[in-house]
Structure 1
Amino acid sequence: MSVVAETAATTTAPSLLVEHRPWWRSRVTLTAGIVGVMLVCYFALKAEYPWPAALTWNTLPTHLNDFQTWLVDQRNAESPSVVIRAFNGFADFLDSLVNWFTSFLGWMTWVGVTVAGVLVSLRFGGVRAAVWALAAFATFAASGLWLESMQTLALMLAAVGLSLLVGIPLGVAAGLSTRFERAVTPVLDAMQIIPAFAYLMPVVILFSVGPGAAVITTMIYAIPPAIRITALGIRGVPSNTVEAAVAMGSTPSQTLAKVRLPLARRMLLLSVNQTILFALSMVVIAGLIGGKGLGDVVTSGLNSYPALALLAGLVIVVMAMALDRVTESVAERTNPTRRHLTDHLRHRLRLASIATAVAIVAVVAAARLAGAGADYSRTTARDWLLARIQSVLDYVQNPDTVLFRITSWIGDHIVQYGLVPFRNFLVETPWPVTLVGITLISLVVSGRRSAITTFLMLALIGVIGEWSSAMDTASQVLVATVLTVAIGLGLGIWAAESRTFSKLLRPVNDVLQTLPQLVYLIPLIYLMPVSVVPGVIAGVLYAFPVVARLVENGVRNVEANAVEAAASFGATRAQVLRKVKLPLAQDAIMLGVNQGIIMVLAVVVIGGLVGSPGLGYEVAQGLARSDFGLGVLASLAILALGITLDRVTRGVRRAQLGDEP
């Protein structure tokens, strides 16, 4: 995730071309005026204003349930149609692929898997990567969740392998063709804007419940970073190097194979890194639709065995951090711009690779002959860990402790002064005022096209009968976004102004951006007694590192001559920051708000798993009760709300000011 954020920041470098408007025509003033009018309407006409039944498609849930029944009948029919056979065949292929990987890891035995992981990490990533790999396998064993960890790794191998198989060729094509990149960008935007929770119901109904459905859900979320970072790497190859190869008579395919791809190797490996992290963030959610492994342990243990759910969450964290560090180390060590490979060095590396492969084969053979099993779990260590986790849970849930009083105070104030006012404002304001007001804000901030899209998405939410639930979810997102932007903006500016603080903040951001989404939610369920608050706080923790990173890059990359000119006129450091750097970095700041609000939505809707009201809760109930109509409508509303929030906060890039007001 950190690579994606840095890439976004570098593509929005501040420019000296600042748009000047009178104060009364500025976006801030116009937006404040629109909100003021909406507040007047709220206080003057305060009441419940549901979307009118005359504008609601009331029979849509019935049609969706009928479609589900028909699809199930077709799937179970003796001679299903070609389309149904294609869906069934693809699902069966994915199920078989995951099961094969699981069986293969079991066949290698726990000794073979551990040695293979450590030796491969050592060969390609170095000593530090090998230590991380060893620590991860030791955690799998000590937690008593070795089998579940291997199931998760099998799901990851299948999902990441297929995502890269699709993403890297498309990324190469996008890097070579600007036209193709423009065509595929809206699809990638939609895949990343839509929270993964919205995919679940449609995927389940098309592919049924099982590992195959989990792989597909994971791929939808993991393919975009593979395409984007690969395209960035291909475009980043120096043009003079490519021109030299062409001048020497290289064909386009030879130039790609022998020049572009080798020089883009580091970015290709970073695309593997980000694809793995995106896929791993879906592991827990995939547990809801038949994905076995750690995700299933977390989702099933949330209500029945909280200590075990937390332990599985910790194992997922260790797995994520280990995979991140190992793949990042591999990318750095194989960077051709930092490492010149002589023939002698190539020969040594080739011998090291052969020796690694031989050692792995020998260890696996010896382990199988010695009777080592597929599973290795230390029940004593597991019981000790569960007892310690349970003692922590007992402490944080004890009303007599100082920690409980602090978290209760925070939760109560977030509800009383944030969630309740925002929800009342969005729900009790007449729906036409809300619809027109948000559309006008989108027009002011992001332009005509975004305003039209915003209007259509909000209208869709109302037509499918999800207006109140969507406004409830939007209130949670807005509260979390306010906190996210406040924290991210402050930390980002501080980091931009202080190299020391930037170095201290970077590892914190890296760790927070590595963790899967639901992992943030698990401990907060027990820290915050109010059901709606954990999703809000989890959204803040998940999103503020990206905001901070984008703000830091935007402020730091302001052109030096503008800063020097202000300083030469006697401006203080604070004046330079307030009147020069922040105005010139407003594109990066707006991009941070945009990315933050989308990431907040992705976590807030997951809060429905633990009782947070709104659209996420309806999706969870649809999955639990097999109510296809309810789940799909809520998923469509989440999709529409995500697109709305993206368009409202996208902003007008200065490069586009001539095209769109």
Structure 2
Amino acid sequence: MTTTTAAAVPRPGIRLSKPVKVAAILVAWVLIWIPTHGTHTLSLSPADLTPLHEWLNEVNDTVGANRNSSPIFLYFFNEIRAGIDALVTFVQALISQPSFGRPVPVLGWLGVVAVVAYISWFFGNWRVALLAAGGFVFFGLQGLWQESMDTLALTLSAVAISLLIGIPLGIWAGLSDRFNALVTPVLDFMQTMPTFVYLAPLTLLFLIGPASATIATLIYAMPPAIRITAHAIRSVPRAAVEATDSLGATGRQTLTGVLLPLSKRTIVLGVNQTIMAALSMVTIAALIDAPGLGKTVIKALQTLDVGTAFNAGLAIVVMAIVLDRVTTAASNRVRQVGTTHRFRRPVAAGLGVLTAICCYMSYTYVWAAEFPDQAGVGRAISRGADEVTLWAQTELSTATEAIKNLVTFALLNPLQSLLVESPWWLVGAVVVLLAALIGTVRTAVTTAACVALLIGTGLWQDSMTTLAMTIVATLLVMVLGVVVGVWMGRNRFADRIIRPALDAGQTMPAFVYLVPFLALFSATRFTAIVAAVVFAAPVAIKIVADGVRGISATTVEAATAAGSNTWQLITKVQLPMARSSLTLAANQGLIYVLSMVVVGGLVGAGALGYDVVAGFSQGQLYGKGLAAGAAIVLLGIMLDRIARASSPSNSPKGHR
């Protein structure tokens, strides 16, 4: 009887934790890699094309041959391109500097500065007006007036179309739960997809030039307008809407009399975010022949001209600051409705007359239309940037070389060898197993589909090289995110000092800081990794800092009272409780790093980034470049789903 009872008692089994299982899978991968590496790697030489690439080339050729005969192009795509080209040309004709082949603009430099200052004062205040006027005069002193106006014209055109479409869609999404649920995945896809990827398809439909650049920019800039407008409508107090309904107001009256007035300030914030997104994308769109400052930066990148790139990059940053301050001031003024000074109207009328006089003078007199050739400031800035770069190359070469070698030989080379030299079936099995272990069956199925489609692109080896660089860059981003983010989260003074630098890092276009990194580290994979880290780290740092700061003060005080020192408080309390923020930081870091893949192709990273860039410049590689863009999207979807699945909020609840 005793024996039977003892046999009936279940013996406790050994349960392995999830990290141990992950480690076991990785160890098994390495052990299998040792005898199998170099086999079934699906390698493809740079000049080789798969049937898919050749088919895409044929599609490109067919589209080019039928562009002026096919009805869908004659009456749809060509009409859209012509309309957008006309809009951009119209805006350029208003503010562009007169030169050979260009008509005299309606507004010369004096008129533009006067109008910008007046608008800034009207929607903001005197300080914003002085900042805006000084910033635009600075463009001329840099010798970049024409390039700056081209960038501004393209930005304003894209923003106008984005708001014309985005705000009505945002209002619809705010009013309709069904439409909001329908549009949210589309917006997620538009924001997750790296910006460079949809440049190639757009050139197929609209050719290179301002039209494609404007469409690419509005695709990138429209999601913030839709999301923030929908959020603004949904954030209106329910009591205000119910009170209006009780008075018998129609839906249209409720929208125009309650919802829009009460959400006006938030909608203006959406306009601000749309402008910032458009300005950053206009610079990138220089790859498809968008005019403006971006083209200057790319030319400097090709010739390693650090000074010219820094001068143009500084102009982009100044324009971003001016546009940001003007729209932010407009948002604040909307909030302060009813506090208008009694002298404001006479002052506005007087300044309006003065602005009109400046516009007339800029149209009539050459000196007021064409900015004087005063590029001394720009030459001084370029010279200073060159001198600093030369000093860094001379004095810091030992340190920079040591850092580059450490990351390359200790992290990048081993990981790249493991990914690139493993058989494709081994990498696919490991990735799917990890997805199933970290997430759910749905995560594993999505990952398996992405792996299969990556194989179908014919760019498996380039995809693995890109994946290795992405993982290394994300690890470095998370190291910075944890170290600096915890410091900022625990120290308000550090937060006030560091946060403006993070804002500048997010505002400055990626092309700007590529050139000094290229000068310091030469054209290597490490240069691309550093550029990706600089681009992605600010987002991760802010998320970690906010997560640490959001921990209850009572919890921190209790841990301190229990005798925890600073290290124990961070590692045992704050970081574990901020786990969801750490996961989100890793997710966003991955996405931001991956969005820099194509930029990395410009600075020696090779792999998918180079394939995309080569597809722009070499017609016979167009299909390969298009397939590389699809591969980047697939990597992004796969990494995003695995990272999301690892979030504590998405983890399945266990039963005790």
Distance 1:178 1:28, change over 3 A: farther
Paired AA for residue 166 in structure 2: G
For structure 1, the 5+ residue unaligned runs are 1-21
Equivalent position of 1:146 in the other structure: 145
Paired AA for residue 650 in structure 1: R
1:613 deviation in Å?
0.9
TM-score w.r.t. structure 1 length? 0.89
Equivalent position of 1:296 in the other structure: 295
Q: Is residue 40 of structure 1 aligned with residue 39 of structure 2?
A: no
Distance 1:569 1:236, change over 3 A: farther
Whole-angstrom CA distance in 2 between matches of 1:429 and 1:109: 61
Q: Is residue 634 of structure 1 aligned with residue 628 of structure 2?
A: yes
Q: 1:378-393 maps to which residues of 2 (within 5 A)? A: 378-393=374-389
Equivalent position of 2:645 in the other structure: 651
Q: Deviations over 1:196-249 (max 9, x none)?
A: 111111111111011000011111211112222222222222223333333333
Q: Contact conserved, 2:92 with 2:149, CA < 8 A, in 1?
A: yes
Whole-angstrom CA distance in 2 between matches of 1:234 and 1:36: 52
Equivalent position of 1:12 in the other structure: none
Paired AA for residue 74 in structure 1: N
Paired AA for residue 317 in structure 1: V
Equivalent position of 2:135 in the other structure: 136
Equivalent position of 1:510 in the other structure: 503
Whole-angstrom CA distance in 1 between matches of 2:286 and 2:398: 34
Whole-angstrom CA distance in 2 between matches of 1:523 and 1:31: 39
1:395 deviation in Å?
3.7
Q: Deviations over 1:9-68 (max 9, x none)?
A: xxxxxxxxxxxxx99555433333332322222234332541389xx9931111111111
1:494 deviation in Å?
1.7
The structure that has the greater radius of gyration is 2
Paired AA for residue 298 in structure 1: V
Whole-angstrom CA distance in 2 between matches of 1:351 and 1:527: 56
Equivalent position of 1:98 in the other structure: 88
Q: 1:425-464 maps to which residues of 2 (within 5 A)? A: 425-464=418-457
Q: Is residue 616 of structure 1 aligned with residue 572 of structure 2?
A: no
CA RMSD of aligned residues (A): 2.7
SS of 1:297's equivalent? helix
Count how many residue pairs are aligned between Structure 1 and Structure 2.
628
Equivalent position of 1:89 in the other structure: 79
Distance 1:198 1:389, change over 3 A: same
Q: Deviations over 1:67-114 (max 9, x none)?
A: 11110111133xx32345311110111111111100011321000111
Equivalent position of 1:8 in the other structure: none
Equivalent position of 1:207 in the other structure: 206
Paired AA for residue 165 in structure 2: V
Pick one of 363, 375, 394 that aligns with 1:368: 363
1:149 deviation in Å?
0.6
1:317 deviation in Å?
2.0
1:633 deviation in Å?
1.0
Q: Contact conserved, 1:544 with 1:596, CA < 8 A, in 2?
A: yes
Q: Contact conserved, 2:304 with 2:519, CA < 8 A, in 1?
A: no
Q: Is residue 419 of structure 1 aligned with residue 412 of structure 2?
A: yes
Once structures 1 and 2 are overlaid, which stretch shifts more, 231-240 or 275-284?
A: 231-240
Equivalent position of 1:314 in the other structure: 314
Equivalent position of 1:230 in the other structure: 229
Whole-angstrom CA distance in 2 between matches of 1:454 and 1:639: 13
TM-score w.r.t. structure 2 length? 0.89
Q: Contact conserved, 2:487 with 2:494, CA < 8 A, in 1?
A: yes
The answer to which structure, 1 or 2, has the higher relative contact order (CA under 8 A, 6+ apart) is: 1
Equivalent position of 1:29 in the other structure: 20
Once structures 1 and 2 are overlaid, which stretch shifts more, 388-397 or 252-261?
A: 388-397
Equivalent position of 1:14 in the other structure: none
Q: Contact conserved, 1:109 with 1:374, CA < 8 A, in 2?
A: yes
Q: 1:42-191 maps to which residues of 2 (within 5 A)? A: 42-51=33-42, 58-77=50-69, 80-106=70-96, 107-191=106-190
1:594 deviation in Å?
0.5
Whole-angstrom CA distance in 1 between matches of 2:268 and 2:370: 30
1:267 deviation in Å?
1.9
Distance 1:168 1:356, change over 3 A: farther
Distance 1:112 1:28, change over 3 A: farther
Whole-angstrom CA distance in 1 between matches of 2:364 and 2:452: 66
Distance 1:656 1:414, change over 3 A: closer
Paired AA for residue 142 in structure 2: S
Whole-angstrom CA distance in 2 between matches of 1:147 and 1:23: 71
Q: 1:232-631 maps to which residues of 2 (within 5 A)? A: 232-304=231-303, 306=305, 307-334=307-334, 336=335, 339=336, 341=338, 345=340, 353-371=348-366, 372-397=368-393, 401-559=394-552, 574-626=567-619, 627-631=621-625
SS of 1:525's equivalent? helix
Q: Contact conserved, 2:142 with 2:374, CA < 8 A, in 1?
A: yes
Q: Contact conserved, 1:324 with 1:514, CA < 8 A, in 2?
A: no
Distance 1:83 1:320, change over 3 A: same
For structure 2, the 5+ residue unaligned runs are 1-12, 97-105
Q: Contact conserved, 2:313 with 2:509, CA < 8 A, in 1?
A: no
1:484 deviation in Å?
0.4
Whole-angstrom CA distance in 2 between matches of 1:156 and 1:276: 7
Once structures 1 and 2 are overlaid, which stretch shifts more, 621-630 or 305-314?
A: 305-314
Paired AA for residue 506 in structure 1: R
Distance 1:263 1:601, change over 3 A: same
Q: Deviations over 1:261-284 (max 9, x none)?
A: 222222212211211111111223
Q: Deviations over 1:144-179 (max 9, x none)?
A: 110011000000001111112222222222222333
Equivalent position of 2:102 in the other structure: none
Q: Contact conserved, 2:539 with 2:588, CA < 8 A, in 1?
A: yes
SS of 2:41's equivalent? coil
Once structures 1 and 2 are overlaid, which stretch shifts more, 60-69 or 446-455?
A: 446-455
1:637 deviation in Å?
0.9
Once structures 1 and 2 are overlaid, which stretch shifts more, 172-181 or 635-644?
A: 172-181
